[in-house]
Chain A
Amino acid sequence: MLVAVMAVSLLFPVVALAADPTVTITVSAVVVSITNSQDTWAIGPVVVDAVVYFSADGNADVDYSQIENTGNVAVDVEIQGTDADDETYDWTLAAAAGDKTYSLYANSEGAPTVYDVEVKSSSYVDLTTDLAALGAYDWSMKFTAPTDFDAADDGTDKTITVTLVASQH
């Protein structure tokens, strides 16, 4: 019997396995929350070189929309745009309007006549940082149409999406 047990032990030697490390996952209970008072912008028909502001009538109104921090922590709010897309004849978003290229700028608070935040399609950019809980931020945008575009654009609808994202400061 002893011989049999020893034989089994030799066949199945005990190997000390390395223990897996302890994984720690921590999810904070902090709530990030924002509102933005204007969730739609209908620019309407435009011609070349047209300038349209994010407001009720298309004219400059820097306080048109308001972001509120409704969470319980200070946040940074970033903004990103897209090309003007109609699936055939896109207008590219760039720093300056040009041929089939449009530009989009947002205003930073405290500079009501200066639209100095370039909205990009390639990345998010800061719109406001360290916005305190219960704090508010008034903002608007300035759209400049291309300096030229194809006759094929006549009457076509294009879609631009402007995204605001808040994260904990």
Chain B
Amino acid sequence: MRKLVLCGFLAIALLLAIPGCPSASSGQVFDGGAVSIQTFERGLWLKGSEVTIVNLYPGYVGSMEFEVGNGIQDNTVKEVRISVEPEDDKDLGDGWVQLPSQYYSWFSIDNPVFTLRPGESQKVTVTVSMPEDADYPNKKARCELLVMGWTVVGTTTNEWGDVVNVCGNVPIGVASEWYIETY
């Protein structure tokens, strides 16, 4: 009976259309920064779908460059968020393991959150820095660089007075799969 009453009177508003974008730390509308125009016409794209790092040793510091773009024909603004995440392939490959999450700090992304207007792209540099005291020799480990694109459908002002993007709730992402062999 209680359920019937609930059915009759409860209406839960699942307003999924207007969650705030996940850039909660600053929540600001990002000005694209040093972006360029590319010719990829559609979709969220990532140049650098696969990375291999061989002989990574304690004390090594280096960098690698990717490029992320937003297709011009989609006519949508994307808020882009980039992070290093576990590789989600069920089959990692013979001898390969997930890179333990405590080692994600070896990788720093120079510009992990930005906004791309239609047709814009941006280069992203990831610095690899294996600490001198790292103890992870002779391993074959995998992780991925995850680039999420949230379609901006508007802006609003949050409780702190910042203008924040309002995004759709079905974002798309593209991933770069990393294969790391330590020395």
Interchain CB contact under 8 A, B71 and A35? yes
Interface string of B48-63 (1 = CB under 8 A from A): 1111111111011010
Interchain CB contact under 8 A, B45 and A71? yes
A25 within 8 A of partner (CB): yes
Inside 8 A of B40's CB, which chain A residues have their CB? 31, 33, 70
Inside 8 A of A157's CB, which chain B residues have their CB? 13-15
Inside 8 A of B59's CB, which chain A residues have their CB? 20
Question: Could you tell me the distance in whole angstroms from the C-beta of B146 to the nearest C-beta in chain A?
Answer: 7
A14 within 8 A of partner (CB): no
Contact residues on A (Cβ < 8 Å of other chain), bracket: 35 or more
Q: How many residues of B contact A (CB 8 A)?
A: 59
A13 within 8 A of partner (CB): no
Interchain CB contact under 8 A, B17 and A40? yes
Q: Which residue of A lies closest to B51 (CB)?
A: A27
Q: Which among B50, B74, B146, B151 is the interface contact of A168 at CB below 8 angstroms?
A: B50
Interchain CB contact under 8 A, B172 and A32? no
Interchain CB contact under 8 A, B14 and A158? yes
Interchain CB contact under 8 A, B47 and A31? yes
Interchain CB contact under 8 A, B151 and A40? yes
A46 within 8 A of partner (CB): yes
Inside 8 A of A27's CB, which chain B residues have their CB? 48, 50-51, 64-66, 176
With contacts A25-B52, A39-B76 taken as known, whether A164 is within 8 angstroms of B45 at the C-beta atoms is no
Interchain CB contact under 8 A, A48 and B16? no
A38 within 8 A of partner (CB): yes
Max count, chain B CB within 10 A of own CB: residue among A32, A153, A160: A32
**Which A residues fall within an 8 A CB radius of B?**
20-36, 38-49, 65, 68, 70-71, 73, 78, 84, 123-124, 145, 147-149, 151, 153-168
